[in-house]
Structure 1
Amino acid sequence: MADERLGERLNISEELILESLSLNAQKSPGELFLVKQYGPSDVVFSFPAGSLSVESYYSGGGAFGEAKADLKLFPSLRSIGNYDPAGKPEEKDLATATINQAFLNKFKHVLENPQLIAKVQEAINLGMRIIFTGHSVGGAIAALATIWFLENFPRESVFCVTFGSPLIGDHLISHALRRENWSQYFINFVMRYDIVPRILLAPLSSIHQEFEKIIPFFDPYSPNYANQSIGSSPEALQLFTNVMSNASSVASSAASKLMGSPNLLLETVANFLELSPYKPFGTYIFCTGNEKLVVLKNPEAVLQLLFFTCQLSNEGEWGTIASKCLNQHLGYKKELEDSLEMQSATYDDHLETVALASDGIFDDLGLSARARQCLRAAGVFEEQKQKNKGKFDSKKEEMKIEMKKLQDYRDYYEHNEGYYDAFKLQKNRNDFEANVTRLVLAAIWDEITEMLKKYDLPDEFEAISEWVELGTEFRHLVEPLDIANFYRHAKGEDTGVYMKRGRPKRYKYTQRWLEHKLKLAAGSRGESCFWAELEELHKLSGDLPAVNKEKERVLNLQRQVGQWIEHKVLREDVLKSSTFQQWWSKLPNDLKTNPILGLMNGSGSMQV
Structure 2
Amino acid sequence: MFQSRANSKPEKKSPSPLFSSGQELANLAVSSGLLEQSWAKISELHNELNQNETIRWRVYPESNFLIIAFGTKQLLQEEELVPSTSLPRFQFLCSKSSSSFSIHKTAATLFGRLHDQLSNLKTQVEQFEGQFKDRTRLIITGHSLGGSVASLFTLWLLDSINKRDKEKDKSVIKHTLCVTFGAPLLGDKGFQEAISCSSLWNSCFLHVAANQDLVPRLFISPHNPNAMDIDSQTGAYKPFGTFLLCSASGCTCVEDPDAVSELLEAMGLETAGIQNPNEAWQIFDYGEPVKRLMSILKIKGLVQLGEMTVDTIRAGIILQLEAIGVISIQQNPDNRELIAKMEKREKDSLLKKKMALDPSKKLNDYKMHMAKLEWYKKTCASDKRGYYNSYKSRGSSQKDIEVFKFKKYLNNYWKTEVAEAERKPQTGEAALMTRWLYGGTNYRRMVEPLDIADYYNKGLRDYKTKGRSQHFIRLEQWLEEAKKQNVPASSTDSKKQKVSALLTEDSCFWADVEEALILCESLKNGDQVESTIKNLIKFEEDVMKQIENYAVSPEIFLEESSFMQWWREYEEIMGTSYSSQLTRFMKNDLNKYGSGS
Q: Name the TM-score, length of structure 2 as normaliser.
A: 0.60
Q: Give how far 1:283 is off.
A: 2.1
- Output the CA distance in 1 between the equivalents of 2:312 and 2:108: 33
Distance 1:599 1:133 in 2: 69
Partner of 2:63: 40
- Taking the TM superposition and a 5 Å limit, the aligned residue runs for 1:172-191 are 173=192, 177=196, 179-191=198-210
Per the alignment, in what secondary structure is the counterpart of residue 200 of structure 2? Answer: coil
How far did 1:529 drift?
Answer: 3.6
Contact 1:174 1:282 in 2 (8 A): no
Q: Is the 8 A contact 1:34 1:46 kept in 2?
A: yes
Q: 1:310 aligns with which of 268, 279, 285?
A: 268
| Counterpart AA for 2:265 | F
Assess if the C-alpha contact under 8 Å between 2:444 and 2:472 holds in 1: yes
Following superposition, the deviation at residue 161 of structure 1 comes to 1.1
**Cα shift at 1:188:** 0.7
Q: In structure 1, list runs of 5 or more residues that go unmatched.
A: 61-65, 79-91, 203-238, 251-271, 592-597
Counterpart residue number, 1:352: 313
Instruction: Classify 1:125/1:501 alpha carbon distance in 2 versus 1 (closer, same or farther; 3 Å).
Output: farther
- Deviation, 1:510, is 7.9
Q: Does 1:17 align with 2:38?
A: yes
For residue 74 of structure 1, report the CA deviation from its aligned partner.
Answer: 3.0
- Counterpart of 1:41 in 2: which secondary structure? coil
Query: Following superposition of structure 1 onto structure 2, how do residues 157-306 of structure 1 map, counting pairs within 5 Å?
Result: 157-167=175-185, 168-170=187-189, 173=192, 177=196, 179-201=198-220, 240=223, 242=225, 246=228, 276-288=235-247, 290=248, 292-306=250-264
Structure 1 residues 249-307: Cα deviation after superposition (integer angstroms, max 9, x where no partner):
x9xxxxxxxxxxxxxxxxxxxxx96685533222212232x373333233332121111
Pairs within 5 Å for 1:48-63:
57-60=80-83
Q: Which residue of 2 is the match for residue 255 of structure 1? A: none
Partner of 1:422: 389
Question: How far did 1:310 drift?
Answer: 0.6
Write out per-residue CA displacement over residues 552-591 of structure 1, whole angstroms, 9 at most, x where no aligned residue: xx999979996xx8xxxx88657768778989999x9999
- Measure the CA separation in 2 of the matches of 1:24 and 1:322: 27
Aligned to 1:142: 150
Tell me the amino acid that sits aligned with residue 49 of structure 2.
K
Name the structure 2 match of 1:331: 284
Instruction: Look up the equivalent residue of 2:246 and give its one-letter code.
Output: C
| Kept after mapping to 1: 8 A contact 2:71/2:143 | yes
1:481 alignment partner in structure 2: 450
Cα 1:488–1:387 shift into 2, 3 Å: same
1:49/1:436 CA distance change after superposition, 3 Å = farther
In the TM superposition, residue 491 of structure 1 has moved relative to its aligned partner by 2.0
Distance 1:487 1:537 in 2: 9
Distance 2:453 2:379 in 1: 17
Q: Which of 361, 364, 368 pairs up with 2:322?
A: 361
Deviation at 1:160, TM superposition (A): 0.5
Query: Quick one: which amino acid aligns to residue 338 of structure 1?
Result: K
Counterpart-to-counterpart distance in 2, 1:135 and 1:287: 15
Could you say which residue in structure 1 is the equivalent of 2:586? Answer: none
Give, in whole Å, the separation in 2 of the partners of 1:557 and 1:332: 75
Deviation readout 1:229-258 (Å, 9 max, x if unpaired): xxxxxxxxxx94515x749xx9xxxxxxxx
TM-score norm. by structure 1 comes to 0.60
Residue 332 (structure 1) shift: 2.7
CA shift, 1:482, in A, is: 0.7
Give the 3-state SS of the residue equivalent to 2:154 in structure 1. helix
1:353 Cα deviation (Å)?
A: 1.4
Matches within 5 A, 1:394-433: 403-413=370-380, 419=386, 421-423=388-390, 426=393
Amino acid across the alignment from 1:40: S
Q: Which SS does the other structure have where 2:288 is aligned?
A: helix
String of CA shifts for 1:105-140, please: whole Å, max 9, x gaps: 654665555413311211211223222222233322
Larger-Rg structure: 2
Corresponding pairs, count: 491
Q: Rate the CA distance shift 1:352–1:447 in 2: closer, same or farther, 3 A.
A: farther
Partner Cα distance (1:405, 1:343) in 2: 56
| Contact residue 38 and residue 44 of structure 1 kept, 8 A | yes
Unaligned runs of 5+ in 2: 1-20, 163-170, 303-310, 329-334, 425-430, 490-503, 521-529, 583-588
Give the letter for the 2:451 counterpart: D
**Are the counterparts in 2 of residues 297 and 348 from structure 1 also a CA contact under 8 Å?**
no
1:371 counterpart residue number: 338
Look up the SS of the partner of 1:344 in the other structure: coil
In 2: Cα distance, 1:201 partner to 1:599 partner: 72
Structure 2 equivalent of residue 100 of structure 1: 103
- C-alpha separation in 1, matches of 2:534 and 2:146: 60
Q: C-alpha distance in 2, partners of 1:515/1:35?
A: 45
Residues 48 and 138, structure 1, Cα contact 8 Å, conserved in 2: yes
Q: Deviations over 1:370-413 (max 9, x none)?
A: 33232222112224446778999989888766544421232245
Q: Secondary structure at the match of 1:286?
A: strand
Match of 1:439 in 2: 404
In 2: Cα distance, 1:439 partner to 1:515 partner: 29
Distance in 2 separating the partners of 1:110 and 1:599? 69
For each residue in 1:463-494, what CA deviation from the matched residue of structure 2 results, as whole angstroms up to 9, or x when unmatched? 999999987665443222112332454423xx
CA positional deviation for 1:96: 4.5
